[in-house]
Structure 1
């Protein structure tokens, strides 16, 4: 009888040991599953943030996912008034846009893009562009130099925004020398102070807002700009980034 009792106690002890090991195993499995879920959620959040940041950066057009001038920012709670479209006087304006030491002769078409040209005239008269950088150069797919952001990072503007898109080419072709307004992707009412200069013929697809407002063209000086600013490329060697040769608007006059 004593031997049977001892055997029974040993069997119960082995059972408890087995059950304890099984419980440890189950807890370990649950812990690994929980950790995997947390890691997966964390990775998803990181990827979402990264994609969101890229979409924000590339979403401001001139309209291709690969590279596009950055958006004019959302207006402040008390935006400045948009200059009257009458300022453009339905005529051609001529002047000089100086980037560093490179003087570009320009023409702005006040008849074809009265609101955008009026805004540009107002900003020029107010000295808004003095010392403002050209913060973005694209060298593949689209060929533009983007300027006019006082923050120098694609987020700045004049304190107001306007639309709709004016004078966009129906075929989406922007010839070398074109000067056009940057905007947010799909938002025709997001134009402000940022503009881009096309230094090589570029085709830009339209989106829900249409194309990009062409305000005028460079009539001379584009070759010098290409040699001084475009050919050195971007600061990090990428196809889309700040120019390796820093660029500042040192003068802008219109008459």
Structure 2
């Protein structure tokens, strides 16, 4: 278990890495806007063929630059969560029996306050088994909540050690468990994120619903509900009120949320 001093240092390190990623994304967006304007002017003067070529060349160069910048930021961010053994690198998820068919209490010690969640091991055994075992390994420690949505659906998404929305453990699992039949997810719901249309794509990413939301099912069904927030939903609401760092309705939260440690009992 990390000490308070270690947690603070870890949080600061994550915050710096987070700010570096956000700054890199902002610079790329500004460059794309400038180049798009130039390309549009070129299209008017020289015809569409040259414009398409310029766009393709620009996007390729930007992708290379972005990969270098984000790899540097991510390598700093991931130092504390790189695990060489256990479930994090396993090709198979923990057995559902690890959830022990009981209610677990998970405490997420975050930079915005503690969030206490009751996990339903009976209703969602596979998801809870995975969450509990990853938490015991320290997989979530030092990670940041990378996504906030503020329109249509109201969720804060966490659990990705890379902070990109694409990271996770070595395994994926499914199918969907314990999804509401009416697609209604009340405030405080904790559910598993997954790829659209793929019920076998769950890993470590989860989302906290901070305001009643109707989230439509897709071809794979709904979203696995593994628990409910029993303390600390106000902390998530404060983050939501601050909005995203870009001002969009879907993006990184302006008020950084770093999960310093997750304990389960």
- Tell me if the contact between 1:167 and 1:213 (Cα under 8 Å) persists in the aligned partners: yes
* 1:1-255 equivalent positions in 2, closer than 5 A: 38=49, 80-227=91-238, 229-255=239-265
- Tell me if the contact between 1:132 and 1:149 (Cα under 8 Å) persists in the aligned partners: yes
Q: CA deviation at 1:104?
A: 1.3
- Tell me if the contact between 1:102 and 1:225 (Cα under 8 Å) persists in the aligned partners: no
Between 179-188 and 232-241, the greater mean CA deviation after superposition: 232-241
Q: CA deviation at 1:122?
A: 0.7
Q: Quick one: distance in 1 between partners of 2:245 and 2:157?
A: 15
Q: CA deviation at 1:252?
A: 1.1
Q: Closer, same or farther in 2 for the Cα pair 1:43/1:120, shift >3 Å?
A: same
**3-state DSSP class of the match of 2:242?**
coil
RMSD: 2.3
Q: What is the TM-score when the length of structure 2 is the normalising length?
A: 0.67
Q: Closer, same or farther in 2 for the Cα pair 1:43/1:202, shift >3 Å?
A: farther
Q: Quick one: distance in 1 between partners of 2:195 and 2:236?
A: 26
Deviations 1:107-127 (A, max 9, x none): 000000000000001100110
**3-state DSSP class of the match of 1:231?**
helix
Q: Closer, same or farther in 2 for the Cα pair 1:41/1:230, shift >3 Å?
A: closer
Q: Quick one: distance in 2 between partners of 1:43 and 1:213?
A: 44
Q: Radius of gyration: which is bigger?
A: 1
Structure (1 or 2) with the greater helix fraction: 2
Q: Quick one: distance in 2 between partners of 1:106 and 1:199?
A: 13
Q: Which runs of 5+ in 1 are unaligned?
A: 1-34, 50-77
The count of aligned residue pairs is 192
Q: Quick one: distance in 2 between partners of 1:189 and 1:122?
A: 19
Q: What is the TM-score when the length of structure 1 is the normalising length?
A: 0.70
